[in-house]
Amino acid sequence: MRYDLAKMVGARPRKRLVLRPIEPPPALAAPLESEAAGIIGAIHTAIAEILLPAYEPRPAVTSDSVDSLGGALEGVREIGQRLAATVSGRLSRWAVRVEEWHRMRFIGAVKAGTGVDIVAFLTSQEALDQTQAAVRWASSLITNVAEDLLQTIDNRVWTAYAGGTPRRELGKQLSEDLGIARGRANRIAIDQTTKLASNLDQMRQQEAGIAKYEWRKSGKKHARKEHVARNGKEFRWDDPPADGHPGQAIFCGCRAMPVLDLD
C-alpha cells in the first residue's frame, strides 16, 4: 500500500530525517543454510554408503567393477538431484521469516525516527512478489551447487579409478570437495538473505514515498573501495549506481538508510 510518510510526519525543525538502516543478522540465513546442508549431507551419506564400497581402483579393473561403480555414481546423482529438485518447496519458511523480520524492523525504524506508526500500511501480501522471487533465485543457486558438486564427484571418481588412487585417498579428496560445496552454499545463503532484505528496503521505502537513501557501508574487512567511498552519500532509488543499490552486488553488506525530506 502506498502512502506519503513525509506528510504523516508533519512540521519538524529539521527538514531532513535519516532513518536507521535495516541490517539482517546472519541467523536469518539459517533455514537456507540448513536446506543446502541437507542436500550436501545426503550426498555425503550416499558417497559413504553407496559409492566408496563400490570403488576398486586399477589394476583390479573388470567390466563388472566398471558397471558397479557407474551404477553407484548414478545412485549418488539420483539422490542429490531428487532433493535439489524439491528445494524450492521448502524455502518458503526462510523467505517468510526474512519478510516478517524486515517488516517489524522497518516499522520500528520509522517509529523511532518519526514517531509515526505505519503498521496498518504493511502486510506480508505487499511483499509476496519479492519473497517468491527470492525463493526461486535461492533455489536455483542451491541447485547449481548440488549439480556442480555431483559433476565434481563424477570427475574425481573416474580420474581416481583410471589412475589407481586408493579408496582412502579418494575418500579424502571427496571430503574436501564436500567441504568446498558447504562453504559455497553458506555464502550463498547469507548473500541471498542480504539481497532479499535489500530488495525489501527498496520496496518499502518507495511505498512510503521515500525517493532517496544515504549509503551506509558494511563493516566487512575487505569491503569494496567504491562502496566505502559512497558511505554517507545520497542516492536515488530511481537512479542506482553502476553495480546496484546497497546489498545488491554479490556479497555486498552495505545498507540503505532512508532519507525523508520534510519540505
Can you tell me the distance from the alpha carbon of 214 to that of 23, in angstroms, rounded to the nearest whole number?
14
Tell me, what's the pLDDT at 188? 96
Whether the predicted pLDDT of 130 surpasses 60: yes
Can you tell me the distance from the alpha carbon of 35 to that of 127, in angstroms, rounded to the nearest whole number?
23
pLDDT digits (tens, 9 = 90+) for 141-188: 999 999 999 999 999 999 999 888 999 999 999 999 999 999 999 999
Q: What is the CA radius of gyration of the chain?
A: 24
Instruction: Report the percentage of the chain scoring pLDDT > 70.
Output: 97
C-alpha cell read off for 14:
529539521
pLDDT digits (tens, 9 = 90+) for 41-91: 999 999 999 999 999 876 555 556 788 899 999 999 999 999 999 998 889
Whether the predicted pLDDT of 227 surpasses 70: yes
Whether the predicted pLDDT of 222 surpasses 90: no
Spatial contact of 55 and 153, defined as CB atoms under 8 Å apart:
no
Residue identified by cell 510526519 is 9
Can you tell me the distance from the alpha carbon of 224 to that of 201, in angstroms, rounded to the nearest whole number?
21
Whether the predicted pLDDT of 12 surpasses 80: no
Spatial contact of 67 and 231, defined as CB atoms under 8 Å apart:
no
- Tell me what the mean pLDDT of segment 202-219 comes to: 95
Pairing of β 16-18 and β 212-216: unpaired
- Tell me what the mean pLDDT of segment 180-203 comes to: 96
Residue identified by cell 521469516 is 97
Can you tell me the distance from the alpha carbon of 132 to that of 130, in angstroms, rounded to the nearest whole number?
6
- Using alpha carbons, select from 102, 77, 96 the residue that is nearest to residue 22: 102
pLDDT digits (tens, 9 = 90+) for 27-45: 999 999 999 999 999 999 9
Give the count of beta carbons closer than 10 Å to the beta carbon of residue 148. 14
Tell me, what's the pLDDT at 123? 86
Task: Indicate whether this model's pTM tops 0.85.
Answer: yes
Can you tell me the distance from the alpha carbon of 250 to that of 215, in angstroms, rounded to the nearest whole number?
16
Tell me, what's the pLDDT at 197? 96
Can you tell me the distance from the alpha carbon of 253 to that of 81, in angstroms, rounded to the nearest whole number?
31
Give the count of beta carbons closer than 10 Å to the beta carbon of residue 124. 11
Sheet containing strand 212-216, edge to edge, reads 16-18, 255-261, 212-216, 234-236
Whether the predicted pLDDT of 254 surpasses 70: yes
Instruction: Report the percentage of the chain scoring pLDDT > 90.
Output: 83
- Tell me what the mean pLDDT of segment 239-261 comes to: 94
Can you tell me the distance from the alpha carbon of 120 to that of 104, in angstroms, rounded to the nearest whole number?
12
Q: How confident is the model at residue 116 (pLDDT cuts 50, 70, 90)?
A: very high
